[in-house]
Amino acid sequence: METSLVISSTLLGSSYEVQVRCRRLYGPGLWSDWSAPYSMNLQDVMYFPPKILTSVGTNVSFYCVYKTKDRMVPSKKIAWWLNLAKEIPRSQYTLVNDYMSKVTLVNLNATKPGGKFLFNALYCCNENKECNHRYAELYIIDVSISITCETYGNLQKMTCRWSTGTDPLLLKSTLLLRYYRSDVYCSEETPTMPSYSEIKECYSQRNNSYECIFQPIYLLSGYTMWIEIKHSLGTVTSQPVCILPKEVVKPFSPSDVKAEITGEEGLLNVSWINPELPKNDLQFQIRYAVNGTEISWEMQEISSPSISSANIEVQDPCAIYIVQVRCTVVEGVGTWSDWSSAAYTVVKDIKAPLRGPEFWRAVKEDPVRKEKNVTLFWKPLMKNLSLCSVIDYMVEHYITRNITWSDYVENENTYTFSWAEDLHTVKVVAINSIGASSVNSILTLSKQMSTVNIVKSLSVYPVNSSCVIVSWVLSPMVYSVASFVIEWINLNEEEQIKWTVIPSDVRKYHIFDNFIPIDKYRFNLYPIVREGVMKPATTNGFSKGGIEIQSDMNFYVVLPLVVSCSFLLVGVFLILHQRMKKLFWDDVPNPKNCSWAKEVNFQKPETFEHLFLNHPEALSFGPLLLEPEIVLEDVAIDKAMKNEDKQDFLNVDSLLSTIQDLEHDSACSSGHFNSESLFESVQDVQTNGGVTGESNIKYATIICSSMSGELYEPPGCLSSSLDRSFLGSDCLVPASFSSSSWAVANQAFLLLPECHEDVLRKITLTLLFHQRASQNLQNMIKSSWRKTVQKEACTT
């Protein structure tokens, strides 16, 4: 029964042809004809066999003879490589003879195709890892094909199904279902393929699946089946499986399934009719779910055999449920039947509502009729309380002298009535097809209690845009509070009042709603006692601060704010630093452009300290550059004087004519204007005005040169003290330019050419100098001087 023969190594050096024939091993018989001749011409490498087709998990062997141009490679120096990537261990080698090597591959895995190659390449190489370009091809097919069968409830036929994967080798092969039927049951636990078998015709279905029907069938006979795969390279088979038709019975589905919610208990009751065939005991499964777009099934096992109904406890007895049932045979290894047709429950009332709705009221006075109208409003009753619907509501009234009446409200959630009595009690009852609610809310309206206030304080703190905290404190009282009602309304929008009922032992409550921080809200807290509704505590808007808002502030909200503020401050400081540098270097000219500062060493700190205080040329300006101890209390801008005071300013007029060319000269140039001329002119003015002794300037008056020819009298001033305002003051120095003013106040003049009258009339500056603080005066002089001096970039 062998299918190969190892030839002698003595024949490897020649070319020859090979033929094979066969006969019966035992008994009489004749030889067959010779097979077609096979020419053998050994060149570089020869493999036996050159191609093999096998299945996953099997073992295969290859032979190799390696010949170079001048000699044969000994078998002990031959190495085997798989796909030129993995060397096969030498423990799997066998030396057949001196020049023939054998390798055995064990427990093969499925081939992973690489492009067009559907096989593994096996290379025969020498010990130096030099391989010839010839190789043997190994094809491996995954034949783990599952065969499943089921026998229908009438036990007349058996349907078997099997499917294959997407292996390209299978797609290029012919697949057959072979079977063998034994007389009784399955003979072996591990079935084997007998020598004799039959082929069953199968029909191709979708997704590479096949279906075969056995009819008639023998319930107690064992059917051994396997799949035969015929390929051009050979034939492989799947593992055989033995199936007993009696153990794969699939009953018919239950019929006439009904589902309903039972009264009182609110249980889901499911009933059905058992299939007539097979005549075996059956067990059942029920699946149910709330009907909707997304169905989430829940399973219920029925342990008792052959029953036809079951009760299931459900969470929502007022929902619509979808129900299905299936069954299987109790004895044997049967399969489940298909699910039955779906049954749906119908929503209906199962009992009277558990309680009536919670309600609240709004009181509105009618000044024309001098009466109060009360509107009751309530939220729709939930299904778990109404069980399962509400037909209408009934409002019951109780007033003094035992007068009662009732009003029905259909499909509405509001009700309005007139309130004229001191006491008026109302109750709202829910009614469905079973009856009326037995537990209901009662509200007493009392004119006397509506004036009693027991709330000491009410505070509302926002937590975020969807939650606020309402807290309150009660005063000592003799009343027993039954509950509280909180009202809130957005005053910026036209919306209905929102409300909620709070238990009597609560003093802080979270309200969840959509709160807009910029809108205004009103919150009312009503204490409810048995005697009636008490006077509410009201607050408009939210409270600021408080422990409540701090305790509810989450750390993860505060931390990002702190980090963001820190980055913002750092950015502001960096921008401010850059702006200060630009302001200093752009607005402050380079002093080295001045003639007097060319030989000054600005590297020394004391140079800047005495730059504007002790410079020899700066001192020639006289009263304009003051020593640190002199205090300039007021700098006022007076209006022009009248003609009778012109005689006191002749020297001043001559001085102004001297400096009219200032805007054509620089303070650092050799023009017509210099510090000496200004100093001498000012000294002349002081001498002519009768001023003697050391100068002790208290305030200086800034005058425009355009005012020299025409002067007007300024208004009087009550005071020129340091209390004067910086801007917008109309209080000016009286008789500023008279001789008496120089004698009393010791004024000095800061003369600026071509000033703007409208600006200077309105400016009053109060500047204080200290020992080291003359910067304000310097800034004033620099800002005024810069408008007139343009040629050289220089200031005092």
pLDDT tens, 282-297?
889 999 999 988 889 9
CA geometry: angle 568, 573, 578, nearest 5 deg: 130
The pLDDT, as a whole number, for residue 793 is 44
DSSP letter at 597 equals G
- Taking the C-alpha atoms of residue 403 and residue 413, their distance in angstroms, rounded to an integer, is 25
CB contact at 8 A, 745 and 733: yes
pLDDT in tens, 504-537: 999 999 999 999 888 899 999 999 999 999 999 9
pLDDT over 80 (residue 658) = no
- 79 pLDDT exceeds 50? yes
Alpha helix positions (H), 274-391: 383-386
- pLDDT at site 495: 79
How far is Cα 383 from Cα 389, in angstroms, rounded to an integer?
6
Query: What's the full length of the chain, in residues?
Result: 796
**CATH code for the structural domain at 359-434:** 2.60.40.10
Higher-scoring residue by pLDDT: 80, 70: 80
With a cut of 60, say whether residue 390 has pLDDT above it: yes
User: Tens digit of pLDDT for each residue in 435-445?
Assistant: 999 899 999 99
Assess whether pLDDT exceeds 70 at residue 318. yes
Query: Which DSSP state fits 732?
Result: -
Q: Are 374 and 533 in contact (CB under 8 A)?
A: no
Nearest alpha carbon to residue 541 among 525, 519, 514, 521 = 521
Task: Assess whether pLDDT exceeds 60 at residue 371.
Answer: yes
Average pLDDT over residues 664-690: 40
Q: Which CATH number fits domain 9-141: 1.20.1250.20, 2.60.40.10, 3.30.365.10, 3.40.50.300?
A: 2.60.40.10
Mean pLDDT of 712-734: 38
Helix ranges restricted to H, 500-603: 547-552, 555-587
> Mean per-residue pLDDT for 632-654?
44
pLDDT of amino acid 788? 45
Q: What is the pTM of this model?
A: 0.52
Mean pLDDT of 581-589: 59
In sign, the C-alpha dihedral spanning 751, 755, 756, 757 is positive
Mean pLDDT of 453-473: 93
pLDDT in tens, 341-369: 999 999 888 888 989 999 999 998 887 87
Q: Which residue has the higher pLDDT, 508 or 206?
A: 508
pLDDT at 246: 87
Measured between alpha carbons, how far is 300 from 334 in angstroms, rounded to an integer?
19
Strand-strand pairing, 223-231 and 234-237? antiparallel
How far apart are the C-alpha atoms of 143 and 602, rounded to whole Å?
98
Report how far residue 626's alpha carbon sits from residue 52's, in angstroms, rounded to the nearest whole number. Answer: 116
The pLDDT mean for the chain works out to: 75
Rounded mean pLDDT, 90-119: 84
Q: How far apart are CA 329 and CA 34, in angstroms?
A: 60
On the question of pLDDT at 95 being above 50, the answer is yes
The domain locations on the chain are 9-141, 147-247, 251-344, 359-434, 450-543, 593-788
pLDDT of residue 634: 44
What is the distance between the terminal CA atoms of the chain, rounded to a whole angstrom?
125
Q: What is 258-297 written as a DSSP string? A: EEEEPTTT-EEEEEEE--SSS-S-EEEEEEEEE-SSS---
Q: Can you tell me which residue has the tokens 């409810």?
A: 528
Of 123-127, 431-435, 627-631, give the lowest mean pLDDT range.
Answer: 627-631
Query: Would the CATH topology of 147-247 be identical to that of 251-344?
Result: yes
Q: What pLDDT score does 562 carry?
A: 78
What is d(CA 753, CA 267) in angstroms, rounded to the nearest whole number? Answer: 106
**The pLDDT of residue 645 is above 90:** no
Q: How confident is the model at residue 214 (pLDDT cuts 50, 70, 90)?
A: very high
More confident residue, 114 or 666: 114
- CB under 8 Å to 458, separation ≥6 — which residues? 470, 471, 472, 523, 525, 537, 538, 539
pLDDT of residue 597: 59
Q: Mean pLDDT throughout 403-431?
A: 90
Strand order in the sheet with 203-204: 203-204, 209-214, 158-163, 147-152, 249-250
Q: According to the model, what pLDDT value does residue 602 have?
A: 62
User: pLDDT tier at 709 (50, 70, 90 boundaries)?
Assistant: very low
- For the record, the structure tokens of 609 come out as 């300290």
For 748-790, write each residue's pLDDT tens digit: 444 444 444 444 343 333 333 333 344 554 565 555 545 544 4
Tokens found for residue 307: 């029953």
Give the pLDDT score at 635.
45
Integer Cα distance of 314 and 317 in angstroms = 6
Q: Could you give the percent of the chain with pLDDT greater than 90? A: 31
pLDDT of residue 583: 62
* CATH architecture designation of domain 147-247: Sandwich (2.60)
Query: In the structure encoding, which two tokens stand for residue 702, read together?
Result: 């800034």
- The 10s digit of each residue's pLDDT in 448-457 is 999 999 999 9
pLDDT of residue 460: 93
Exposure string over 96-116, b if 16+ CB within 10 A, otherwise e = bbebbbbbebeebebbeeeee
Ramachandran region, residue 368 (left: φ > 0; alpha: ψ -120 to 50; beta: rest)? alpha
Domain 450-543: homologous superfamily in CATH: Immunoglobulins (2.60.40.10)
Which numeric CATH code is attached to 251-344? 2.60.40.10
Question: How far are the Cα atoms of 34, 458, 543, 547 from residue 540, in angstroms, in the given order?
Answer: 114, 10, 9, 19
Segment 81-87 shows an average pLDDT of 89
Average pLDDT over residues 253-276: 90
The tokens describing 792, both together, are 């050289």
Q: Over the stretch 530-558, which tens digit does the pLDDT of each residue have?
A: 999 999 999 988 887 644 443 444 455 56
Overall average pLDDT of the 164-176 stretch = 84
The most confident of 334-338, 501-505, 631-635, 648-652, by mean pLDDT: 501-505
